[in-house]
Structures are given as structure tokens and as C-alpha cells.
Amino acid sequence: MVEIAEAKKRSTNRKPKAKKTKLSRKQLTDLYYYMVLNRALDDRVTSLYKQGKFQGGAFVSRGQEATSVGSAYALEEGDVIGPMIRNSGAILVRGVPPREFLANYLGKKTGPTQGKDGNSHFGDLKRNIFAPVSMLGVLIPVCAGAALAFKMKKQPNVALTWIGDGGASIGDFHEGLNFAAVMKLPFVLILENNGYAYSTPTSKQSLVEDFVIRAQGYGIPGEIVDGNDVLAVYEVTKRAVERARKGGGATLIEAKTFRMKGHAEHDDAFYVPKKIIEYWQKRDPIINYEKYLLKEKVLSKKELTDIQSSVAKEMDEAQKFAEESPLPEAKEAAEGLYAS
Amino acid sequence: MSTITYIEAITKGLREEMQRDESVFCLGEDIGEYGGAFKVTKGFIKEFGEERVVDTILAETAIVGVSIGAAIMGLRPVAEMQFADFISNGWNQLVNMGAKTHYRWGAAVPMVIRLPSGGGLHAGPFHSQNPEAWFFHVPGLKLVAPSTPYDAKGLIKSAVRDNNPVLYFEHKYLYRHVKGEVPDDDYTIPIGKAEIKRVGKDITLITYGSMVQFSLEAAENVTKLGVEVEVLDLRSLLPFDKEMILESVKKTNRAMIVHEATLTGGIGGEISACITQDAFEYLDAPVKRVASIDTPVPYSPPLEAYFMPNTEKITKALRELAEY
């Protein structure tokens, strides 16, 4: 088990470490691309919401892109993920195209749920993505079940899911994590401590400052990571995933990060003190990673700009696809209840 | 063919399914070495190993959730609730995740939850409930409730092979009180199909589970009055065999529903509504319901006896309905 004090020390370094990473230039570029894509997708969701193009809630993950992208990038194709509403970055890493994402927001037939559910509430069996439900924590036991299936089938795969500081209060957290721990399942839980559960600050959620100490109670390794440092998130996840693949059981990772917007687009987050926002603005995961890429001469300024423009183009096409896609036929509401 | 108890029939069906299909596995509290609180899985751990007979932590939310996850990955979990009452702890997983998954994003959830349910054993308010109506209102689930050893084996097999979450209500009173002939070979009973357990022309009595035997006895009792009761065993509660119910009621012109679960909000209300909506002009009397009284299940024997329907109460109701 990693000593918590030591882990905390590591997490205080909010800038990406300049140390040598084992990742190739292609991989480092991928991480940047997915974070930029994540933010562009979120921004597009916001703008479609503001234009009244869809009725439901709009959930974005500004400030948390590094957690989703870094962790999902540490997985293999056959691994299962159980994303929450703020893990669209992970869904993108798994290969779901932004156009399907936007189509789902718009309730279109071409979205993964064909209009049955909204926003990022979808799963994708081909890509081993489990859909979340609005009741937080549900995916913890469910993903433990996927991990159990891997163990039973002797497949060297891992199931990974996320929870927030708020969701960590629900009973499913305890039952699911303890189940995975006791059964030594290939399971990784990333707790994104992002400061707020809707409007409730973490201080009103738990007396514990570092949720990672809970890992001790389950007898599993726990690590804290700077959730705004994509490389650190990648590394810590990779470690946990590799351990799980080798039969080392479950891990709890606490990613310290911040939700830079309200719970959803209808929430202006008036309850968040300005100073806190300013503090985290300086720690924007994308801007900091850009600095790192430039400093380490991984990518040039122009290459960064090229990626941004190609993402913008991709997003324009995605929006066009989503808007031009047909709505489902009303009678389809009665279809698909049971699997045949 | 052998004559076995209801509980032995469940064990037999489950064992055969585990032998037939490697993706079937059991999980639950104390189901391994101990063989389950009622010994349904006795000996399974020796035969199938602890990988396929998973003794779990005491956590119904996790048991249901893990089953859902494993089912989405293509396995066929059969989860045991030690007592049906405890499913309340797995409610959210089942209702919000399990039941809605296929509708929302097309993933099949081929899982079974076995629910030892019902009263008559003086087990008090938390070990005697019949919670089927809690789930009857949840689109996406399937509910079955066998009344005989033959049906118990055939339905557990269908439940295991179904690609949806199936709640299998096995009645604790029937476990060792009912014996019957059960074929040794493989057979299934289709989910959604009722069976006429007794043919009659004067009253249709619709029932299931523990009340089938009592209803058959009551039907026998009223033959003295010249009343021939048709006893229809639903076997599947969701979806239920509306067609067979209507067909029978159109023939007999009188309908009665009997269940052990409490009256208000029970399944009987829905069946009654179906009959009055679709066969009203065939009815010679109002639809009658016999069920447990609207209280928690009491512990002391005289209280529990007062709480539950029995042969005598059903007989009385049949007489009233015949005389209406």
C-alpha cells in the first residue's frame, strides 16, 4: 500500500512533471487531442443547449478532462469502463465518435440510445462501455460484476469506473468496492474529488479530507493523484490496471480535481467562492499540458494549433450530422423493452 | 420421472442448467459450503467449484449489481436472496439498472434472482413477505412463481435461459410441503403462459404460487354445491397470460383472484382491471379478490393464520361468488 503522506506530497505538484515519460510522441499527442476534443465537445453541448436545440440537462466536464482521458488511455480495448456524466473524455478515448454523442443529446435516432435516453447516458457494447444511471454509485457493483466475469472467464481484462466525492457517500460505493476487494477482482475505482456534489461542498459530504484512506478499510491499495495532470493520472491508472491484470485485485484512486462549471448548464455555480475558481483556473489541465508539450518539445505551437483546428472541424461535422439526423418514430417508444 | 419435493425440483433444474451451460453460475450469501439458508445449492460447491458457486459478502445491492455486470458480459448469474424480503436492499440496482438496460442501450441482462418468499412458517414481518407486486410495476423485469415441483423445474430452466432479468419467486412453504412427479429429462415451461390446473365451467379462479393448492382444495369443496371452478395457475406474473384469463372468464362468467400477497396494490387488482375492461359484458358478478390483509406479516401462529388466505377463506369466497 502506498503511504498516504507520500502520495499527498506527490499530488501537490499540480503541474505536469517534466520527468521522462515512457509514452511515445504519438501517445502524448493522443492525450492532448482527446482532452481538446473533450472540451470542444463540451463547449458544443453548451452552445446547443443555449440555442435550445435539446430539452434535457447539459453536463460538461471542464477542468476534469485530464482525469477521464488519462485514466481511459491507460486501458486496453477489451477492458470495461463505466463512465459517469463527467467522463465524456473517457468515452471519446474508447472511440465513440462525437457525432454519436451529440446525436444522443439531441434525442436522435442515430444516438447510441436511439432517443431512449439523453446526454452521455449511453453504453456501447462493442466498446465495452457500460451506461450510467442517474443514481450515483450503481456502476460500482455493476463494474465489479464485469470484473468478476473477466476473472471467471480467465480473461486478462479490467473493469474501471469513476465516482465523485458526492457519490462516495452512497451505499453502493461500500458494497461494490468491498465486493471487488474481497473477491480480488480486476477492478479500479477512480474517485474524482472535484469539490462539489451539485451545490454541496466536499466538506459537507465527508469529514475525511482524503477519501483515499478508505482503501485501507477495504484492504486494497489506494493512491492519490493530481487529477489535473493527465500524465500523472495515466501513470497511476496504468499501475493499478497492471496490478489488477496480474491478479493483484482492486485499487482505489483519488484524483484531486475541480469542476469548473456548475453541476449542469442550468446551474451557474454561484455558490463557489471566486478565489477557489481562480486557484483552479491556474491549474487548467489542458493549458498546463500544452506548456509541458512545448517545454519538452513534443509538439510545436503550430502543431498544437493544427490539432485544435482539426478538432473544431470534427466538431462542426459532428453537429451537422446530429442536427440532420432523424428523430426516432414515436412508436419506437414501445419497442426494445425485452431482449429476445 | 421421480417424485420429489418442490425444493428438490429447483435444485435439480438449477444443477442441470449449470451442467448444460458453463456460463451459468450461482452467487449469494451462504450458498457455498453451507448450501444456502434452505439448502437449495447444497453440494454445488463440490460439484462446480467456488468459481461458479460464489459465496458473497452480506450485501444485496452488490449481489444484484454484480449479477447485472456479469450478465451484461455474457454470463448467466443466478443470484439467491436469502429471503425474498431482502431484495429491498437491491431495489435500485434491479429497477434502475437491470430493468432499464436493454431498453436504454440494447444490452441484454440475462440474470435470475431467486426469491424464497411467503408466509405460513411463522417467520415474522421480515422473512415472510411476498414482494412480487413491488416489481410487477417495473417494465423490463420478468416475474415467475411456480406452484408445483414440475413447474419449479421447468420455470427455473426458462428463467436461466431468458435474456432478461427474471425474478423467480419460490415459496418457502411449498419447499417441503409439496411433492410431485418431475421428469428427469430436460424440459422448460414458457414464461408468460398460464396453465389450467383444474377445468370448470362456473367460476374462473386465478391464482399462483402457494395459493394454487389451497384454491384446488376450495374448488373441490364447492363441488358439493354443484359449482365447478376452473383454477388457472398464472405461473408467470409478468408478463401474465391475459389471453388465457379472458378466454376462461368468457366461458365461466365469474372471476376470482387469490394471492398470498397483501390485497391493496397487489397483482389481483391489475388482473381484475383487465377482466372488467376486456370482458365486462361476459361477467355475471363483480370480480372478487382474496388476499392477505393489509398489514405486515405477523409472527404468532393465530395472527399469521388470520392474516393469510387459506382453503376455508377461499371456499367461503367461492360460495359467495357462486351465489351472487
- Please compute Rg for chain B using Cα positions: 19
Pairing assessment for the beta strands A222-226 and B236-238 based on DSSP bridges: unpaired
Q: Which of B220, B211, B213, B284 has its CA nearest to residue B251?
A: B284
Interchain CB distance below 8 Å, B92 and A123:
no
Report how far Cα B181 is from the mean position of its chain's Cα atoms: 19
Q: Which of B175, B140, B154, B148 has its CA nearest to residue B42?
A: B175
Interchain CB distance below 8 Å, B69 and A143:
yes
Interchain CB distance below 8 Å, B142 and A336:
no
- Please compute Rg for chain A using Cα positions: 19
Residues of A annotated as catalytic (active site), given as ranges: 259, 263, 271
- How far is Cα B72 from Cα A161, in angstroms, rounded to an integer? 15
Pairing assessment for the beta strands B112-117 and B76-80 based on DSSP bridges: parallel
Specify which residues A321 forms β-bridges with: none
At B12, which amino acid appears?
K
pLDDT of residue A55: 86
pLDDT of residue A10: 47
* Mean pLDDT across chain B: 98
Mean pLDDT, residues B270-287 taken together: 98
Q: At B114, is the secondary structure helix, strand, or coil? A: strand
Chain A residues touching residue B74 (CB < 8 angstroms): 149
What are the pLDDT digits (tens) for B145-168? 999 999 999 999 999 999 999 999
Catalytic residue among B102, B127, B171, B177: B127
Interchain CB distance below 8 Å, A172 and B93:
yes
> Which of A133, A141, A151 has the CB atom closest to B61's CB atom?
A141
What are the pLDDT digits (tens) for B187-198? 999 999 999 999
Q: Please answer whether residues B174 and B116 qualify as being in contact, where contact means their C-beta atoms are separated by less than 8 angstroms.
A: no
Interchain CB distance below 8 Å, A142 and B102:
no
Over 60: is that where the pLDDT of B22 sits?
yes
pLDDT of residue A152: 98
> Which of B52, B67, B107 has the CB atom closest to A123's CB atom?
B107
Q: Please answer whether residues A193 and A227 qualify as being in contact, where contact means their C-beta atoms are separated by less than 8 angstroms.
A: yes
pLDDT of residue A21: 83
Specify which residues B159 forms β-bridges with: none
- How far is Cα B177 from Cα A208, in angstroms, rounded to an integer? 53
Interchain CB distance below 8 Å, A176 and B61:
yes
pLDDT of residue A9: 52
> Which of A134, A143, A149 has the CB atom closest to B75's CB atom?
A149
Mutation target to probe the A interface, by most A beta carbons within 10 A, among B24, B55, B58, B61 is: B61
Interchain CB distance below 8 Å, A149 and B70:
yes
- How far does B98 lie from chain A, in Å, by closest CA? 10
pLDDT of residue A12: 43
- How far is Cα A300 from Cα B34, in angstroms, rounded to an integer? 65
C-alpha cell at A271: 455558490
Band of pLDDT at residue B241, cut at 50, 70 and 90 = very high
- Give the sign of the dihedral formed by CA A175, CA A181, CA A186, CA A191: positive
Over 90: is that where the pLDDT of B319 sits?
yes
Mutation target to probe the B interface, by most B beta carbons within 10 A, among A129, A157, A175, A177 is: A175
What are the pLDDT digits (tens) for B106-118? 999 999 999 999 9
Chain A residues touching residue B164 (CB < 8 angstroms): 338-339
Three-class DSSP labels, chain A: CCCHHHHHHHHCCCCCCCCCCCCCHHHHHHHHHHHHHHHHHHHHHHHHHHCCCCCCCCCCCCCCHHHHHHHHCCCCCCCEEECCCCCHHHHHHCCCCHHHHHHHHCCCCCCCCCCCCCCCCCCEHHHCECCCCCCCCCHHHHHHHHHHHHHHCCCCCCEEEEEECCHHHCHHHHHHHHHHHHCCCCEEEEEEECCEECCEEHHHCCCCCCHHHHHHHHCCCEEEEECCCHHHHHHHHHHHHHHHHCCCCCEEEEEECCCCCCCCCCCCCCCCCHHHHHHHHCCCHHHHHHHHHHHCCCCCHHHHHHHHHHHHHHHHHHHHHHHHCCCCCHHHHHCCCCCC
> Which of A135, A145, A337 has the CB atom closest to B70's CB atom?
A145
pLDDT of residue A17: 55
- CB of A91 within 8 Å of any CB in chain B? no
pLDDT of residue A5: 52
Q: Which residues of chain A carry a pLDDT beneath 70?
A: 1-20
Over 90: is that where the pLDDT of B217 sits?
yes
- How far is Cα B21 from Cα B59, in angstroms, rounded to an integer? 27
Interchain CB distance below 8 Å, A116 and B163:
no
Q: Which residue of A has its CA nearest to B105?
A: A113
Specify which residues A190 forms β-bridges with: A162, A253
> Which of B52, B97, B107 has the CB atom closest to A138's CB atom?
B97
pLDDT of residue A7: 46
